[in-house]
Amino acid sequence: MNYPNGRKEVQKHFPAKNKPTSSGYGNRGMSLEDDIMATNDYYLQAKMAVVHKKPTPVQIVNVDYPKRSAAVIKEAYFKQASTTDFNGVYRGLYVDFEAKETRNKNSFPLSNIHQHQIDHMKAVLQHGGVCFLIIKFTPLEEIYFLEGTKLFTFWDDQFQGGRKSIPYSYICEEGHLIPFHFQARVNYASVLDKLYF
């Protein structure tokens, strides 16, 4: 199309966001964390659970004010080591969990977890809460729920000369596959129902 000033219209092509992959799921470009937050929003709206992502405590050191209406953080530090990603209440249970993605097809590397997170999860269990990992094997498009106690076995064994990862085969057998759903994308509540109710 030519405009009156003689210039031609320039066609602009924008990449499609969250384009479906061969698996047919419309949100597969999203991260595991995004999917869990969308699931938690659904649970909250449906009055099923109150679970939120924990904010990471940050100490802001240097801020630049280029304009009155805008501030740019130039320097900040983590105040303390974070614990786990999510916590809240489901059907009277206190739930506390970490969400991790891996590109590894054969195992989940324990290097994705930190000692302070394990210590926190063990403390939650001692007080009657429920701890677990949600692990996404990205190349396989599979998400698993793994109970904290099953994680602790591998964590403790690595310091006695054991494996530095949890085999995929073990996670398949001892964990719980979480199928993708449209509204509750990572429907971990269905696993909690099976294990605790």
Mean model confidence pLDDT for the chain: 84
Residue 21 is assigned to a ligand binding site? no
Q: Report residue 3's pLDDT band, with 50, 70 and 90 as the boundaries.
A: very low
> Is 160 flagged in the annotation as binding?
no
Class of domain 32-196: alpha beta
Report whether 158 belongs to an annotated binding site. Answer: no
Instruction: Consult the annotation and say whether 117 binds a ligand.
Output: yes
pLDDT greater at residue 155 or residue 8: 155
Beta bridge pairs of residue 45: none
Domain residue limits, the chain: 32-196
Average pLDDT over residues 6-24: 40
- pTM for the full predicted model: 0.76
Whether the CB-CB separation of 148 and 121 falls below 8 Å is answered with yes
Half-sphere exposure of 102 (CA within 13 A, CB side): 20
* Residue range 129-171, pLDDT digits in tens: 999 999 999 999 999 999 999 999 999 999 999 999 999 999 9
What angle, rounded to 10 degrees, do the helices at 115-126 and 148-157 form?
Answer: 130
State yes or no: pLDDT of 12 exceeds 60.
no
Q: How confident is the model at residue 80 (pLDDT cuts 50, 70, 90)?
A: low
What value does the CA radius of gyration of the chain take, rounded to a whole number of Å? 21
Is residue 54's pLDDT more than 70? Answer: yes
